[in-house]
Amino acid sequence: MEAKEKQLLAARLRGLSLFRGVLETGPFAALADLLECEDPCGQLELLGEVCFGLTPWEGDFSRFLREKVFEDENPVIRAKAAGKTVSGALEANCAKDLDLFSALSALTPEDLCPDYADLRPVFRSGPVDFAAEYAQRLEGVSKYGYGIFAGAGMLRLSGEGEIVPVESPDAITLDAFIGYENERARVLDNTKALLEGRPAANMLLYGDAGTGKSSTIKAVANALRPDGLRLIELRKDQLLSLSSVMGRIAGNPLKFVIFIDDLSFNKNDSDFSMLKAALEGSASVKADNAVIYATSNRRHIVRESFSDRTAMDDVHINDTMQELMSLSDRFGETVYFQKPNKQLYLRIVSELAKKAGLDMPESELAEKAEAYALRKGSRSARAAEQFIDSLR
């Protein structure tokens, strides 16, 4: 590549407008300096910085560019997502920036550092038509999303209150389950209603431990991610941030499941009122594109003691007790996951054994599975998985 070509690319990179936030990521700082550098030793050093910056993308420059461009939350994609008209100036700047990214995607290590061939670090690259691909992203923004939601299907709330991707998301799929077909179908159908713009209910999945309540929600989220569904997990102690999360996703073209696992309250929990307001549809803690899915081992998710029922300092004790006990009733739909009977438990064990490639007579497998459940204290899908794992 001629020196003038590199200088022009460097100038264009410095002049990014709409996608300017991309300059602060990965290897871009070193790349701009490298394009302007004429000293062979300096080029080699800066190329090393570029390659080091590409490490999280396994040294693939085109993959890095795609991720950063498609995840960028800029005025054009926000306007398109909201169905608003984009000004001519913004569209022109967008086109120029995308044309630059296409030119950058074709760069090779040899272009950037023609000397020191034996010492030169390498990265992978390949031409990308960013104008065409970004147009496709804009057209399907309700499925692809933008910003942090473009690259992650499962997210969580950080300790600082920011929505961040789950680092190692559960990749469980719907076909991994055995039994509980009706229960999963109800969750799946309700979530599809949300995606299709039909009325969808907040759901409480309750029942015995190890029956697949949380896994069902995650599997549905994985199955429907290509259709525009994202899952945001909140811990119970983060419920006071529920209104800010709803505000963050309100107006987003994607659909969201706010997932609260293992939910239970004491009667004096401050989080109680926040969740109650969300379930009742309070404008401050409700987003039209989101539903709340919670799991609990308890049907009545507010713990109470016998002393609560005999409290003498509450003039309207019956009204108070009804408020505490009725939180679960505020979920539009409840799904009960009962621990499996012996027949279902052994069916789960048998199917898991086949998937694991275990060669054991059914009678022997059933006998050992029952003995394992007896030691565990109960039959459950989780116990069946643990039993099969113990045989491997």
The sign of the dihedral angle between the CA atoms of 147, 151, 156, 158 is negative
| Alpha helices (H) in 39-169, listed in sequence order | 40-53, 61-71, 75-81, 88-105, 109-112, 130-139, 141-144
DSSP string, 163-181: EEE-SS-----GGG--S-H
User: Cα separation of 294 and 207, whole Å?
Assistant: 12
In terms of DSSP bridges, do strands 229-234 and 154-157 run parallel, antiparallel, or are they unpaired?
parallel
pTM of the complete model: 0.79
Interval 282-339: pLDDT, tens: 555 578 899 999 898 765 555 444 444 444 444 434 444 344 445 667 788 889 988 8
Are the C-beta atoms of 319 and 325 separated by less than 8 Å? no
Element (H, E) at 203: strand 203-207
Interval 180-192: pLDDT, tens: 889 999 999 999 9
Interval 107-130: pLDDT, tens: 999 999 999 999 999 999 999 999
Select from 174, 286, 289 the least CA-distant residue to 221: 174
